[in-house]
Amino acid sequence: MKRIAHCIFFFLLFELSYTTMDAQDTRQRPQSPVQQGKMMQGGQLTSNGDTAFHFFSEQVADFRILRYQVPGFNQLSTQQKQLAYYLYEAALCGRDIFYDQNYQYNLIVRKTLEALLNSPKTDRKSDEFGKLQTYAKQVCFANGIHHFYSNNKMMPGFSPSWFETQVRNCPLAQLPLQSGQDVDQFITFIKPVIFDPNVAPKRTSLDTKSDLVKSSAVNFYENVSQQEVSDYYKQLSDAAGKNPPSFGLNSKLVKENGALTEKVWKVGGMYSPAIEKIVYWLGKAKEVAESDQQKKTIELLIEFYQTGDLKKFDEYSIEWAMDTTSVVDFINGYIEVYHDPLGYKGSWEAYVSIKDQEATRRIKTIGDQAQWFEDHSPISDEFKKKNVKGIAAKVINVVAEAGDLAPLTAIGINLPNAEWIRELYGSKSVTIGNITHAYAKDLEASGIIDEFYYSDEVKNRLKKYGAVTDDLHTDMHEVIGHASGQLKSGVSSFNETLKSYANTLEEARADLVALYYMTDPKLVEIGVMPNADASKTEYDRYITNALLIQLARLPQNDDQLEEPHMRNRHMIAQWVYEKGKAQNVISKVNKDGKTFYVVNDYAKLRNLFGQLLREVQRIKSEGDYAAGSALVENYGVKVDAAVHKEVLARNAKLNIAPYRGFIQPRLEPLKDEKGNITDVRIIYPPQFMKQMMYYGKMYSFLPLVN
């Protein structure tokens, strides 16, 4: 099948290097989040400079809601703005697909919450109403009733009895009643979906002691077992021979009358009402494409949506990767497979972006050296690529995001996913500059560095070089890490060989490539690393973040990591810590009742990163499931309960939620008397839930249950 060489590298709230800007950055710093919050009340803002722009909106439960600017948008030509607008509409038209993929009743829950929030008869004076608002924001932030990172079902704070009363008071026309359903039947149906912790308890289960398909709530399978799914797609892949398409990427696998069949996500198939709208806007975008290459790319994507033919998706992916000149670019389709416990089904996502010409020069410098990095890698020669294909590397500013990219987004993306396309045609790798800038502005005064790092030397180095080295880590992870290495001849795609551990191990491999080269003189030589002292910064940040800071995301009394990126980081850091104990490479220090991890020998730590990279690449190349399973389970899953409890207490004092997501900019076309678009205005809405309610009203095209 396929492999997710693509990384949606979720930016940790506590990727601490973003708490400060480079010493040469003269942009005005924002007011405090509290001050910003007070000033955010009111209308929508349209601003091009940081001076009048407020990045922070509000903090809810365990997440912060931010906003981001789009530098360069107003400098686009009218045709480019039209293109961006049409792609923006295509992105929003598909957002409900992701809700439904996450759980088959998510749309009913969301529409119920929307109805109660809109109803004039809902009791707004009760404390329960505030809890309803919070839960609605949680559901919208997570694109469903399961937590976006832990995958656990989120429980509302309001009572079932209060909820039932509000539903009964709500006008029937506003409620999402299914055909023939009365309000009593609706309440009987919806209450356990929302309140019963045993109904759909886990969106994506990675517990290998259970049937991963049956224990996951994702709407990718119905009446089938894990073994049936694996056998079904293995047979398809084996029969397809060399370079098979990404079987299962765009369908729901169900058993009907004893036979397995796929409900394909295409025009005329499952999700057709939304896909038809996407295709309409893509058709408009095609007519104003920047080049023949981009036009061809959009035409192939339209054909894929119309036919559901995965070979068309491969053709589209190849042409998309070859389009390296367009200023306005996009993603639209079934991309990431992280939410499928077996790694077949692509979650729907979209973004629209514009190229940051100046920042692209830095990342291109790294991409141009891809073969050098591959040749000097510590991995076995038999697993090295002899000819690394073109890596089109650039920095982008996103204009809008949807589906699996919103509100929680990525900071780096590398596509296409298919390993054989990457080997034969290359890939496109991007860093999302305006998102990282928004994170930086939000966390400048967070206090995280002073709380979790041991010495003044390390703290000062982080404040001076942290933003630079963290950007470089992302660049190296995406541009070099995911493009490196190759499978041993005859070995199947490693989502098949490594199964539920594939995502964690691939992210670990890309991280290890970045970490291994972070202190290499080559980065200073090509001008992307300031100096040798700065190169140490990423080692300090990575170890402390993995073993301490990221644990703030783990709920109290939970000592097991499940999200692939968190597992990956913990696995790497725990492995090098344990393996380096004899030589005191990293010390675990207790000072004033607080735990710190201190790097004592950066050269030896680099050597350990190299050793682990060699082994992880071998595991991937040979499809060694037993070794991959042991590595993840032994080092990446369990956390120190005492340290976790301590981190939660230390983080609580800082009062900063551990996750962040974004309100999306809005594009508004300006038209002449004939209806022709003459310009497109970009607007930055200040209120998250107001935007979610607007989306729910304007972009809901799917049936309640799919």
Q: What is the DSSP letter of 390?
A: P
318: pLDDT strictly greater than 90: yes
> pLDDT higher for 35 or 445?
445
Kindly report the number of other CB atoms within 10 A of residue 98's CB atom.
22
- β-pairing, 594-599 with 221-222? unpaired
Average of per-residue pLDDT values in the chain:
90
For 251-295, write each residue's pLDDT tens digit.
Answer: 999 999 999 999 999 999 999 999 999 999 999 999 999 999 999
Query: What residue type is assigned to position 111 of the chain?
Result: K
pLDDT-derived band at 444, boundaries 50, 70, 90: low
Whats the size of the chain, residue-wise?
A: 706
From 549, 553, 547, 598, select the one nearest 569 (Cα to Cα).
Answer: 547
From 217, 226, 237, 242, select the one nearest 106 (Cα to Cα).
Answer: 217
Helices (H), 50-119: 78-93, 95-102, 106-118
What pLDDT is stored for residue 412 in this prediction?
84
192: pLDDT strictly greater than 90: yes
The partner residues of 597 in beta bridges, in order of sequence, read: 588
123: pLDDT strictly greater than 70: yes
Bond before 378 cis per omega within 30 degrees: no
Query: What residue type is assigned to position 353 of the chain?
Result: S
For 553-582, write each residue's pLDDT tens digit.
Answer: 898 888 899 888 999 999 999 999 999 999
Backbone angles phi, psi at 600, to 5 degrees: -100, -30
| Strands of the sheet with 56-60, listed across from one edge | 56-60, 63-67, 659-663
What pLDDT is stored for residue 445 in this prediction?
59
Any idea which of 4-13, 398-407, 509-518, 624-633 has the lowest mean pLDDT? 4-13
**Residue 643 to residue 241: CA distance in whole angstroms:** 49
**Residue 334 to residue 264: CA distance in whole angstroms:** 12
**Residue 568 to residue 637: CA distance in whole angstroms:** 9
Asked if residues 499 and 343 have their Cβ atoms less than 8 Å apart, the reply is yes
Residue % of the chain over a pLDDT of 70: 92
DSSP E strand stretches across 23-104: 56-60, 63-67
> pLDDT higher for 284 or 21?
284
Residue listed under structure tokens 């036919």: 307
**Residue 428 to residue 650: CA distance in whole angstroms:** 40
The ranges assigned to domains in the chain are: 16-64+447-661, 105-201
* Structure-token pair, residue 684: 């930055």
From 500, 76, 581, select the one nearest 290 (Cα to Cα).
Answer: 76
> pLDDT higher for 473 or 30?
473
Query: What does the radius of gyration of the chain's CA atoms come to, in whole angstroms?
Result: 24
What pLDDT is stored for residue 495 in this prediction?
80
Q: Is 170 helix (H, G, I), strand (E, B) or coil?
A: coil
Kindly report the number of other CB atoms within 10 A of residue 314's CB atom.
22
Q: How far is CA 332 from the centre of its chain?
A: 14
The partner residues of 670 in beta bridges, in order of sequence, read: 679
From 450, 644, 438, select the one nearest 553 (Cα to Cα).
Answer: 644
What pLDDT is stored for residue 667 in this prediction?
98
Please return the burial class of 593, using the count of CB atoms within 10 Å of its CB with bins 0-12, 13-18 and 19+: exposed
What pLDDT is stored for residue 51 in this prediction?
54
What pLDDT is stored for residue 442 in this prediction?
82
pLDDT-derived band at 26, boundaries 50, 70, 90: very low
493: pLDDT strictly greater than 90: no
DSSP 449-506: HHHH---HHHHHHHHHHHHHHHHHHHHIIIIIITT---PPTTPPPHHHHSGGGHHHHH
Cβ-Cβ contacts under 8 Å for 65 (sequence gap 6 or more)? 56, 57, 58, 59, 141, 407, 660, 661, 662, 663, 688
**Residue 478 to residue 554: CA distance in whole angstroms:** 26
What pLDDT is stored for residue 703 in this prediction?
97
Asked if residues 547 and 597 have their Cβ atoms less than 8 Å apart, the reply is yes
Q: How far is CA 251 from the centre of its chain?
A: 21
Q: Span 414-440, mean pLDDT?
A: 89
Asked if residues 265 and 275 have their Cβ atoms less than 8 Å apart, the reply is yes
Query: What residue type is assigned to position 88 of the chain?
Result: Y
DSSP 422-440: HHHH-EEEEEEHHHHHHHH
**Residue 414 to residue 504: CA distance in whole angstroms:** 16
* Structure-token pair, residue 299: 């035409």
DSSP 549-603: GGGGGSPTT--B--SHHHHHHHHHHHHHHHHTGGGTSEEEEEETTEEEEEE--HH
From 425, 358, 357, 343, select the one nearest 391 (Cα to Cα).
Answer: 425
Asked if residues 122 and 169 have their Cβ atoms less than 8 Å apart, the reply is yes
Cβ-Cβ contacts under 8 Å for 381 (sequence gap 6 or more)? none
For 204-216, write each residue's pLDDT tens digit.
Answer: 999 989 999 999 9
Kindly report the number of other CB atoms within 10 A of residue 440's CB atom.
22
Asked if residues 352 and 282 have their Cβ atoms less than 8 Å apart, the reply is no
Q: How far apart are the first and last CA of the chain?
A: 25
354: pLDDT strictly greater than 70: yes
8: pLDDT strictly greater than 60: no
For 322-347, write each residue's pLDDT tens digit.
Answer: 999 999 999 999 999 999 999 999 99
What pLDDT is stored for residue 22 in this prediction?
29
What pLDDT is stored for residue 13 in this prediction?
36
Query: What residue type is assigned to position 599 of the chain?
Result: V
Q: Span 374-402, mean pLDDT?
A: 92
355: pLDDT strictly greater than 50: yes
Q: Span 147-175, mean pLDDT?
A: 97
**Residue 413 to residue 573: CA distance in whole angstroms:** 23
Tell me the Ramachandran region of residue 17: left when phi exceeds 0, alpha when psi lies from -120 to 50, beta otherwise. Answer: alpha
Cβ-Cβ contacts under 8 Å for 490 (sequence gap 6 or more)? none
| pTM (2 d.p.) | 0.80
Query: What residue type is assigned to position 40 of the chain?
Result: M
DSSP 354-375: EE-HHHHHHHHHHHTTHHHHHH
What pLDDT is stored for residue 400 in this prediction?
98
606: pLDDT strictly greater than 60: yes
What pLDDT is stored for residue 118 in this prediction?
97
What pLDDT is stored for residue 17 in this prediction?
31
Asked if residues 374 and 384 have their Cβ atoms less than 8 Å apart, the reply is yes
* Structure-token pair, residue 378: 């510590």
Asked if residues 57 and 37 have their Cβ atoms less than 8 Å apart, the reply is yes
Max CA pair span of the chain: 77
1: pLDDT strictly greater than 50: no
Asked if residues 226 and 255 have their Cβ atoms less than 8 Å apart, the reply is no
Q: What string of H, E and C letters represents the secondary structure of 596-648?
A: EEEECCHHHHHHHHHHHHHHHHHHHHHCCHHHHHHHHHHHHHECCHHHHHHHH
From 128, 111, 108, 127, select the one nearest 119 (Cα to Cα).
Answer: 111
